[in-house]
Amino acid sequence: MNFTFWDGSIVAVLFFILVWIVYWTQKRSNSVVDFLAANRCAGRYLLTVASGATGLGVISIVASWELYYKLGFSAIWWQAMLIPAVGMILSVSGFVTYRFRETRAMTMAEFFELRYSRKFRIFAGMVACGSGVLNYAIFPSVAARALIYIMGLPIYTVQLFGLEIDLTLAVVMACLLTAAVLIAIVGGQVTIMVTDFVQAQVVNIVIFIVIFILMFKVDWSHIISILSVAPAGQSKLNPFDIKDFHGFNIWYFIFQVSLIIYGFRAWQGSQGYSCSAKSPHEARMAGVLVGWREYIVQIFVVFIPVCIFVVLNGKGQNSGIIGENLSNIVNLQIREQMTVPLGLVQLLPVGVVGLLCAAFIGGTIATDNTYLHSWGSILIQDILMPLRGKPFQPKAHLKLLRFSIAGVAIFAFLFSLFFTLKDYIFMYFAITGAIYLGGAGAVILGGLYWKRGTVAGAWTAMVSGSILSLIGVLLQNIFWPHILPSLKEKYYEIFGRLPNEFPISGMTMAFAFALLAFLTYIVVSLFSKPDKNLDFDKLFHRGKYAVAEERPEIISSIKLKIFDKFGISKEFTLTDKIICFASIFLTFFWVIMFIIGCVINSRYKIPIEIWGKWWAIYFIVNFIIAAFVAVWFFWGGLRDFKELIHSLTHKRKDNLDDGYVIGHKRLSDIEDKEEKKLIASEELSHDR
């Protein structure tokens, strides 16, 4: 076992730091808008770095390692060179991000009430919450198992009501979830954002330490020689030779790109960050900076599983030890998930293992507290409060939000304890996320950009997307593995020809269901009556409805027509334009390389030796950029952190800014003070 007392001490220090931060920040959160959206005071760097920690939890890392261990560098060609280009274009243009922040809504379903109706908000909130909680519910078990195997904890089981319970798993999950719940309920989005920022810095430091160690332990020429011997159709170097990878083929990445565009910013797992920006422009710039942050993530999730694959297939001493440790894991799906974590621990020295555990624990807590805050908030904001028909008193509102967050954690704990995953993590994400995203993408795009979109169109898209995706989840995880085997025994003539494994991947189903929902939204909207009371200026706070402090009139002295093509407007300072231009240039550089590679390979079939050299260049360039970004974002995040604390202390807070909507208006936007008091104190019985 590589985990020692000194490694445990490093983990303990992290916990003490988090406890101190929670104690220090909780005094800054004393209203509903603080709890849900940090009073809309966050700058771009704080948003980017803190929200980035959410994507670096063990569940995300293990899922990525599972993919790249299987596909090697081949996956980068489709996932890391094409997808960032799409994301960068969408981010720089402010696609969805800018308009959603203009609405000042604190959840996406709140926007649905502003744009469509209260009943639709409640239904969409139910779908979003159900889909999100089901999607999140495997997070605790995957993270806990990784930590159990990394730390070498003994596994104890007990019998309860005829079921075998993994006691060690239950204890580790309980500890992680308790820490996440406490952070989320003490100060809400304020505490979450500050702790996530600190944890992101810990993760960044560990990433570079681990990468440096592996660079010296695993020779690059050895990496290329091992990866080169993969069988035809399963190449780990040539991205055009991956047709035999079940589920993860070229179509997987094509569907993934399509769904990114369709559901851009639709997923509400980190909705607190979506509404915390101090202005729509800061929200857009945070989206641009995400592309730079991904360079740090990419070198970590790609290089490490490749190194572990090489070590395991190199027949060295470490290969035997890692293989022996993996053979002790009976469940094949869990064994695949734990291959890279167990291999990595074997290669790291004492102390660094502790740092890795601290990073994993920090990233997991950051992921958990953000998701718990999101789904717990949606349950109250978009289901309970609209059903109640009147706003809550601030203290009661905060209490309900805290109880809801704890309730989501309890459900996730029980689900993780008893549910056994039957597919790759990314596939499970795709199909469970599609329960909401299948229809939400059409509803959001139509609501933000198409005045002709109607309530009937929104209902049809959301219902069809949700039902189809739910059927897919049931077929894949219940019918096929549990019901079909017995049906084959009893009624072989009817069910005997069905394959033993579910034949359609989660990504394929998600794409098909989203396409159908999008088409139904358009068709039904065209054949139904539009809302005559819809006012886009009021919805997006433009013209006479504008909020002055969120509409900075900054004009740079440098004007280039190329900027106009990407939606870079007068709100952009010179620094903003430089950042955007650099982002666009670097992204399109990789796109051009992607296009050139596709054209050359279609004519001449690029040899495997060239691919090996190309991936060496790619890794070096990405490593240099990642190191620069880590320092840049650290200083930018510190500046935004200081401004956040100052703003939370001095910015005026409106106790009625709680997400309550009446007649296409947010309660806090009503100017008449007497009307506000009446709404806040009396029962509302309207039904739109």
pLDDT at 685: 37
Highest mean pLDDT among 3-12, 70-79, 439-448, 582-591: 439-448
Q: Closest Cα partner for 676 from 688, 685, 664, 665?
A: 665
Query: Do the bridges between strand 157-160 and strand 661-662 make them parallel or antiparallel, or are there none, so unpaired?
Result: unpaired
Alpha helix (H) residue ranges in 605-685: 608-650, 673-681
* pLDDT at residue number 659: 65
Beta bridge partners of 42: 277
Same domain, 260 and 376: yes
Clarify whether residues 174 and 59 are in a common domain: yes
383 shares its domain with 452? no
pTM of the model: 0.80
Residue 576 lies in a domain: no
**Number of domain units in the chain:** 2
Cα gap 207→56, rounded to integer Å: 11
Q: Look at residue 45 and tell me if it is in a domain.
A: yes
Q: Is the per-residue pLDDT at 521 higher than 90?
A: yes
DSSP string, 61-101: HHHHHHHHHHHTTHHHHHHTTTHHHHHHHHHHTTTTHHHHH
**Do 69 and 216 fall into the same domain?**
yes
| CATH code, domain with 355 | 1.10.4160
Q: How confident is the model at residue 159 (pLDDT cuts 50, 70, 90)?
A: confident
DSSP 279-344: SHHHHHHHHHHHHHHHHHHHHHHHHHHHHHHHHHTTTSHHHHHHHHHHHT---HHHHHHHHHHHHH
Residue 268 lies in a domain: yes
pLDDT tens-digit series, residues 109-120: 888 888 898 899
18-22, 159-163, 167-171, 526-530 — which is least confidently predicted? 159-163
Model confidence over 591-634: pLDDT tens digits?
Answer: 888 888 889 988 888 888 899 899 999 899 989 999 999 999 99
Dihedral over Cα of 399, 405, 409, 411: its sign:
positive
- pLDDT given for residue 687 in this prediction: 33
Q: What is the pLDDT of residues 417-431, one digit of tens each?
A: 888 776 677 777 777
- Residues 343 and 426 placed together within one structural domain of the fold: no
pLDDT digits (tens, 9 = 90+) for 74-103: 878 876 666 666 777 777 777 888 888 888
- End position of a domain, from candidates 345, 367, 388: 388
Looking at the fold, whether 507 and 359 belong to one and the same domain comes out as no
Same domain, 346 and 452: no
- Of 182, 329, 288, nearest to 568 (Cα)? 288
- Using the predicted structure, report yes or no on whether residue 411 has a pLDDT greater than 90: yes
Q: Is residue 539 part of a domain?
A: no
Could you tell me which residue, 511 or 31, shows the higher pLDDT?
Answer: 511
Indicate if 364 and 435 belong to the same structural domain: no
Same domain, yes or no: 74 and 161: yes
- Give residues with Cβ within 8 angstroms of 460, minimum separation 6: 520, 521, 524
Cα separation, 425 vs 58, in Å, equals 12
Q: How many angstroms separate the Cα of 504 from the Cα of each of 443, 499, 510?
A: 26, 11, 10
103 and 540 Cβ atoms separated by less than 8 Å: yes
Residues 463 and 505 in one domain: yes
Which of 531, 560, 580 represents a domain boundary (last residue)? 531
- From CA 241, how far away is CA 431, in angstroms rounded? 26
Does the residue 566 lie in any domain?
A: no
Q: Letter for the amino acid at 240?
A: F
- 513 or 681, which is more confident: 513
| For residue 526, pLDDT beyond 70 | yes
Q: What is the pLDDT of residues 337-347, one digit of tens each?
A: 888 888 888 88
For 244, counting Cβ atoms within 10 Å of its Cβ (0-12 exposed, 13-18 middle, 19+ buried), the class is exposed
In this predicted model, which residue has the larger pLDDT, 642 or 30? Answer: 642
SS (H, E, C) 499-542: CCCCCCCHHHHHHHHHHHHHHHHHHHHHCCCCCCCCCHHHHCCC
What pLDDT score was predicted for residue 461? Answer: 93
**Within this chain, do residues 139 and 40 fall inside the same structural domain, yes or no?**
yes
Contacts of 504 (CB under 8 A, 6+ apart): 472
Last residue of a domain, one of 531, 557, 588: 531
CB hemisphere CA count around 392 (13 angstroms): 21
Residue 677, both tokens:
């008091």
* d(C-alpha 181, C-alpha 176), whole Å: 9
CA-based radius of gyration for the chain: 25
256-306 pLDDT tens trace: 788 888 888 788 777 778 788 888 888 888 888 888 888 888 888 888 999
- The answer to whether position 256 is within a domain reads yes
Q: Does 414 fall in a domain?
A: no
Spatial CB neighbours of 495, under 8 Å, sequence gap ≥ 6: 484, 487, 488
Q: Which residue has the higher pLDDT, 160 or 676?
A: 160
Q: Which domain holds residue 336?
A: 5-388
Residues 112, 240: one domain? yes
Q: How confident is the model at residue 199, as a pLDDT? A: 85
DSSP tag of 236: S
Phi/psi at 516 (5° precision): -65, -40
Q: What is the mean pLDDT of the chain?
A: 81
- Helix axis angle for 108-115 and 118-136, nearest 10°, is 160
**Residue 641 domain-assigned (yes or no):** no
